[in-house]
Structure 1
Amino acid sequence: MRALAQTAFQFPEDGRQSETARAVARGTRRLLRQHGYATVTELPLADGRRADVVALGQDGTITIIEVKSSVADFRADAKWRFYQAHCDRLFFAIPADMPAAIMPEEAGLIVADAYGAEIVREANEKRLAAATRKAMFIRFGQAAAHRLHRLGDPDGWGEQHGLF
């Protein structure tokens, strides 16, 4: 048990994110942690979409961060508008070499690398309805708990829980 406690746990790469996207997500999560947020990545939402990073604040605020690794990545993906129905605040997180000017003004902006991040533009806040907030809390908590279970018992994990 002692050796297990000293091991750094990492989830296997799922092949969906580029190295740049993983680095931006990592730096963004570090920034959010410094501000008291808990985060999960690749959280499936009720509408079937998957949010890159979801952050839960100490005050119950839910923030979604859409990671974009390149201009092509941004232009190929318009689903970010749907995320607004699942959060109080929406940010884009991009690498420093991506032009910030193309990012939509309706969302906040974070510039990040693998080691940290900076909020360049705050996001507007739109408070969620109570029922949506409760559903997101449950989704967030279950995802985090299932992922911890999978780390602690990888052989006892069934495919039926593939969403988390």
Structure 2
Amino acid sequence: MSDLSHSPSLMPGQLLARGVSRALRGHDFVSVEELVPTSGLRVDVMALGPKGEIWIIECKSSRADFQSDSKWQGYLEWCDRFFWAVDSNFPTELLPEETGLILADAYDAEIIRMGPETKLAPARRKVMVQKFARHAAVRAQAARDPGFVTAF
């Protein structure tokens, strides 16, 4: 995988998110970044699969970044599968074995370990798909008309 320094305007976690999103397209998933499933939580990447599957991927660029994350378990109730995305230098032994693992860089990623599947209840899935769609639409509109759309 490539060095993360090729895109200096993006933070390391954003570069990992970009590589993850690119790789997930190869699995027929679409993704959005920085989605808020509920007040107080903001996921790095939420991916929506071809059968409505919802995955959350948290990108960690360092040991300190991972150790300072005290909210990750709160994400589990908002997805069917949960993953960590880290680069090849990250000490993966720190990551809980009962979660998914993706090795990533700014350009690509590889699923190393699938997160266990815990299917969302239909009502929760409907809410999350709607949030995903609205988030994606606001981002698309902001890209077309950056001075008009306010933050989501």
TM normalised by structure 1 equals 0.84
Give yes or no for contact 1:112–1:118 (8 Å, CA) kept in 2.
yes
Identity percentage over the alignment? Answer: 45
* 1:1-150 mapped onto 2 (5 Å cutoff): 19-150=11-142
Measure the CA separation in 2 of the matches of 1:30 and 1:155.
27
Q: Write the letter of the residue equivalent to 2:90.
A: M
- Give 1:47 shift: 3.3
Distance 2:143 2:95 in 1: 36
Could you say what secondary structure the match of 1:154 adopts? coil
Contact map agreement 1:20 1:95 (CA 8 A) in 2: no
Structure 2: where are the runs of 5+ without partners? 1-8
1:78 is displaced (CA, Å) by: 1.7
- Once the two structures are superposed, residues 86-111 of structure 1 have per-residue CA deviations (whole angstroms, 9 ceiling, x without a partner) of 00000000011011111011210001
Q: Distance in 1 between matches of 2:96 and 2:25?
A: 25
Q: Match of 2:147, SS? A: helix
**SS of structure 1 residue aligned to 2:50:** coil
Larger Rg over CA atoms? 1
Q: CA RMSD in A?
A: 1.3
The one-letter amino acid paired with 2:67 is: R
| TM-score where L is the length of structure 2 | 0.90
- The amino acid that maps onto 2:40 is G
Question: Cα distance, 1:58 vs. partner?
Answer: 0.3
What amino acid is aligned across from residue 76 of structure 1 in structure 2? S
